[in-house]
A and B are shown apart, each in its own frame.
Chain A
Amino acid sequence: MTDLENLTDEKLVELIRTQNQELYSTIIRRYQQKISHYLRKFVHNHDELEDVLQDVFIKAFRNLNDFDKSKRFSPWIYRIAHNEALNFLKKNHKQQLSLDQEDIQILDTTADIKQSVDSILNRTAVENALSQIKIKFQEPLILYFFEQKSYEEISEILHIPTSTVGTLISRGKIQLKELLKQYGKQ
C-alpha cells in the first residue's frame, strides 16, 4: 500500500494499463478533490458536479492508453476536466462562475487587484466580473489563481504555448480589474 502511495502518477498509470486496472482507485483518490475544486467554478449544482466528475474519471480511464508517459499525468487529466467543464457549459448554456471564499482570498493576495478594487472585493462582484471575461482569458486565470497551476502546467492543460499563457493571464487580469472597478462605482 505504502509502495503504491509512493509511486508517481505516471508509473501508476503504466501499472493500470499493463497489470491491474483496480489501481485506478488510487488515481481517483489523488485527483478527486483537486478536479472537484476546479469543476466547481463551472458546475454549481452538487448533483451535476458529481456527474461531471464521474465523467472525467471515466473518460480518463477509457483514454489511459492515449496518455504519453513521457509527459506529466496531472495536466493530462486536468485537460479532460477542462474539456468536460466546457462541454457542460455549452450543453447547459451556462456562463456564470462560482467561487468560494477561499478562492476570493487567493485572488485577493495573488492577483494584485486589492489596491484597485479594495472595498468592493466581495464574492459576487468577483464571480460576476470573472463570468463576463471571455472564456479564453477566464480559463488561464482560474487555473493560475485558483488551481495554483504554473504557466508550464497551464500550457499543457490548454495546449497553448507558455508565452501565450502569460499574455492571456496578464490581459485577463486587466479586464478583471476594469470590471471590478465598474462594479465598485455602481
Chain B
Amino acid sequence: MKIETTKTAATTQLSQKIADSEVLLRDALTEFGRGQIALSFSGAEDVVLIDLVQSLGLQVDIFSLDTGRLPIETYEYLEKVRKHYQQPIELVYPAPEGVEALVKAKGLFSFYQDGHQECCSVRKVQPLRRKLATLDAWITGQRQDQSVTRSEIPPRQLDESFSTDGHELIKFNPLALWTSAEIWQYIRDYQVPYNPLHDQGFISVGCQPCTRAVGPYEHERAGRWWWEEETQKECGLHGQNVIPLTPIS
C-alpha cells in the first residue's frame, strides 16, 4: 500500500514558522496568566492561532468583536469554531447608544461617503478598548504580508494605540512572519475549519458592507474599504500601523 505524504519544500519552512509561533505563544501564556491575556479572533484565517495554542495543550481565552454587521457566513463560522475547539468565544459588542447615535445622525452606510473610521470607531475600536482595558496583553493574527500598513509589525510589541499612562498593554503577533500561503498550507495540512467566504474569493474578511471578494493578482486587503487610500486601511484595532498622511504642500 502506498502511503502518501505531504512533501514539499514549503513544509520545512512552515515547520520553522510553527516552531517560532509555538515558542512565542508559550512564552506569552507563561508571562501572562489566565485573565490577563486573551486571543482576538477575527473570524478568518487567524483561526490558526487557536489551533496552535490547543496543539500545545494550552488554553487561552478567546474574544471576537461582533460589530452587528458581520456576514452571516462569519457568524456561522464563529459557531463552527466554538464547537470544533470546544471552547467559548466571548463576543464583544458595541455600546448600543453609540450605534444608535451614529445611525440616527448618518444612516446605515455613511462610511461610503465619510470613510470607515467613524463607523469602525463605534462598532470595533470602542468595544475593543473596553475589552483591552481588562487585559495586560492580547494575541492577534496580524501578518506583515497583509498590507502596507502591516509590513513591519513585530511578533511582540507595546500596543501604543491601547496602552494608557497607567496601563501598559502588550500585543503578540505570532503569525507576523507567516505568509498567506503558509497560513493556508497549515489550514490544509491540519484540517483546520475556515470561513467559507474564502472559497468565494474573499481573502480579508470584515464587516459585510466593507468587504468584497478580490480578483486574481489583487492584494488581499484590496477587498477591504476599496474606496479608500491604501495606507489608511486599518479599522483602528491596529491604529499604530497607520502611516500618518502628510500634506504635499
To the question of whether A and B form a pair in one complex, the answer is no
